[in-house]
Amino acid sequence: MKNNTFLLLAFMLCVMASCKPSVNSETLTGKWKYIKIEHPNASPPDTMKKAELDEAAPYIQFTPERKWLIVWGGKFLSHGNYSLDGSNIKVTEKLPDGKTRDFVFTVSELTESKIVFETIGAEGSKVTALRASKF
User: What local confidence, expressed as pLDDT, does residue 57 receive?
Assistant: 97
Q: Where are the alpha helices (DSSP H) in the chain?
A: 2-18, 25-28, 50-56
Phi, psi (deg, nearest 5) at residue 5 = -65, -45
Burial class (CB in 10 A: 0-12, 13-18, 19+), 23: buried
What are the structural domains, with CATH classification, of the chain?
A: 21-133 (2.40.128.280)
Are 40 and 122 spatial neighbours (Cβ–Cβ below 8 Å)? no
Which tens digit of pLDDT belongs to each residue from 122-133? 788 999 999 998
pLDDT of 19: 59
Low-confidence ranges of the chain (pLDDT < 50): 5-18
Q: What is the pLDDT of residue 113?
A: 97
Over residues 1-21, the pLDDT tens digits come to 555 544 444 444 444 444 567
Tell me the C-alpha distance between 131 and 33, whole Å: 6
Non-local (6+) Cβ contacts of 85 within 8 A are none
Q: Residue 55 corresponds to which amino acid?
A: E
